[in-house]
Amino acid sequence: MRVTPTAIPDVLLIEPTKHGDRRGFFSEVFRVDALERFGIAGPWLQDNHSFSAEVGTVRGLHFQVHPRPQGKLMRVTRGAILDVAVDLRQGSPTFGQHVAVELSAERWNQLWVPVGFAHGFCTLTPDVEVLYKVTGYYDAACDRGLRWDDPALGIAWPVSREAAQLSAKDLALPSLADLPVCFTYGA
């Protein structure tokens, strides 16, 4: 397993090793002790599975606040996405900045999005399946979001506003300037 820091060092790109032959392949995609060596720690409480039929489906940008914040370990098992993490940690040197990484079944890569980040993705292919582990249970009372196309974020989404497929909930999310302080750097 190879783990590489991104432009925001707390967000990590993970590339599990694949061992293959004529029959197919084997890969350890999740191993607690290996992840802990890179500072990625649980507890791992919930697995989520997302399916998106259309190219240009945007999910996010989502996060949960205390007392149930979530770190997310993202991977794609079918298709490809542009996966985005936005730093919401007040006082962080990268506050308001983002990382955007293409995750795909073909690349077999994963992204660690720690607590303190908004997260979202856009599908690049049809019929995308995303599996992810989280470090906190889903809690509707702690569920928050950030406007996916906030110009202040400068995210180069691969879909226009007009063509993007979003939920009504995601269309109504606030901009970064309108968010209260949700996380504090170093806390």
Structure tokens at 110: 């994963």
Active site residue 66: no
DSSP 149: T
Active site residue 132: yes
Structure tokens at 104: 């795909």
- Cβ within 8 Å of residue 131, ≥6 positions away: 47, 48, 49, 50, 75, 76, 77
Nearest Cα residue to 65 out of 88, 83, 43: 88
Q: Write down the catalytic residue from 19, 62, 119, 185.
A: 62
Alpha-carbon distance of 165 to 103, in angstroms, equals 19
Alpha-carbon distance of 114 to 79, in angstroms, equals 24
What is the spatial order of strands in the sheet that 143-145 belongs to?
98-104, 80-87, 117-123, 58-64, 143-145
What number of residues does the chain have?
Answer: 187
Q: Write down the catalytic residue from 119, 132, 137, 185.
A: 132
Which active-site residues does the annotation give?
62, 132
